Structure 1
């Protein structure tokens, strides 16, 4: 979730954290933690309630860069080149992708601690 975007929508709504807490029934301390970025893994229903109160959707808070949103079409464009790889080269690519996924999982675990 992109806290910067959340706070932009909050500012545009004119609502304070206290008012959002009142509207949603979520504790003010939880709203404060989420909007400050101290709670990096809030519950889905909590974010949905905040979004409803400030007039946005969860998709509006998407933190995937625009250049990654077209990834499926970019991947398809790479398919012919990937198919040209030898078995060993493909295995190397596959291992690298597995490494990147492992690294990302490790980063997520470390952030949650």
Structure 2
């Protein structure tokens, strides 16, 4: 029995010893000894009660991989409560996206210009801090829709986009943002990636991670639209750990 694994599972689910004791009906003192490693081989019934309370299998206490990541369990719970028609639609979207991703790999290549912004403060990137990379990507419907890429070298856009993500954008000055679309905009020499929301005549540009106050866009010319987000790109020459480390 791996007591460190129990700690990891408790932390992942936000459980304290007191909370786990309440749910499992196991005394706090007993749990403390198990979790600290003082009790190296607790009984089966005790461990079974802990596993039931943590909604996991006994195998996981031995360090075996988790069948379903805990952060997905809440989505599964919500999914089960949806009407059948909505469940079918979600399954359709997942299948569609999976098929799209598996077909993006091709033997034909193309070159795209990728921008990296080195000076980023509170989610705003200084336009003049740009570095330019010419990168090679697979030629497919997704990359063909891109006019430029942006290499995210910060964790400020998490959880939507993680550090070292490469985002594809389509530039077209004639396009107007639609409700829910993600765009890069330029304002007073600073760049910002956010999502547009429309409510009647009001248009808001919202931060992806909530670090920047909502921006009321009363005039589209107030914030120059640089490009509409198309999707994340697979650019191994940038995103592999070795390449990213060499760039730092």
TM-score when normalising by structure 1: 0.53
Q: Which runs of 5+ in 2 are unaligned?
A: 65-248
Report Cα offsets for 1:20-76 as digits up to 9, x if no partner.
111111100000000111111111111111111122211011258xxxxxxxxxxxx
Higher strand share: 2
Aligned to 1:26: 26
Does structure 2 conserve the Cα–Cα contact (< 8 Å) formed by 1:47 and 1:58? yes
Aligned to 1:44: 44
Q: Which runs of 5+ in 1 are unaligned?
A: 65-113
Does structure 2 conserve the Cα–Cα contact (< 8 Å) formed by 1:9 and 1:55? no
Query: Which structure ranks higher in relative contact order (CA pairs < 8 Å, sequence separation ≥ 6)?
Result: 1
Matches within 5 A, 1:61-80: 61-62=61-62
**Over the residues paired in the alignment, what is the CA RMSD in angstroms?**
1.4
- Report which of the two structures shows the higher radius of gyration computed on alpha carbons: 2
Q: Secondary structure at the match of 1:26?
A: coil
Q: Secondary structure at the match of 1:42?
A: coil
Q: Secondary structure at the match of 2:29?
A: helix
